[in-house]
Structure 1
Amino acid sequence: MALAALTEAETRLALLVAEGASNQEAAAKLFVSVKTVEARLTRIYQKLDVRSRAQLATTLRVH
């Protein structure tokens, strides 16, 4: 499963983004900065070998 490769914090962010949350919305919901969201998204993309929010959403739905 794709989420197994992620930390708990990364999983929460990945699910929010896959549901359509913007970086700003995700930051507010997770009580972190937008910079933190950007850094975590970069790691998530690398771990799951995806290149876009749409591809992330597809990957999380399929697995």
Structure 2
Amino acid sequence: MRGLTAREYEVAVAVGRGLTNRQIAAGLHVAERTAQNHVQHVLTKLGFTTRSQIATWITEITTRTDPSS
């Protein structure tokens, strides 16, 4: 998971699904600002600058590890 916490990985999956910070916050039962912070931490830890980079990365990771694909 490239140094991500379990929560950050969960946020990365949500970003990969195209969810907004508000939607991520609602799904995780946290404040929108907290979701925004999690997204920023994911970006920083992965060395990315855009949410689309997270989405591409998480898609590659889940496709590689999903035995049904």
Q: TM-score, normalised by structure 2?
A: 0.80
Output aligned runs, 1:40-59, within 5 Å: 40-59=38-57
Structure with greater proportional helix content: 1
Question: Secondary structure of the residue that 1:5 maps to in structure 2?
Answer: coil
In our comparison, the structure showing a higher alpha carbon Rg is: 2
Equivalent position of 2:11 in the other structure: 13
User: 2:20 pairs with 19, 22, 31, which one?
Assistant: 22
Unaligned runs of 5+ in 1: none
Residues 4-59 of structure 1, C-alpha deviations (whole Å, 9 max, x = no match): 41101111111011110111000000000011011111111010111111111111
Q: Using structure 1 for the length normalisation, give the TM-score.
A: 0.87
Calculate percent identity across the aligned residue pairs.
30
The answer to which structure, 1 or 2, has the higher relative contact order (CA under 8 A, 6+ apart) is: 1
Say how many residue pairs are matched. 61
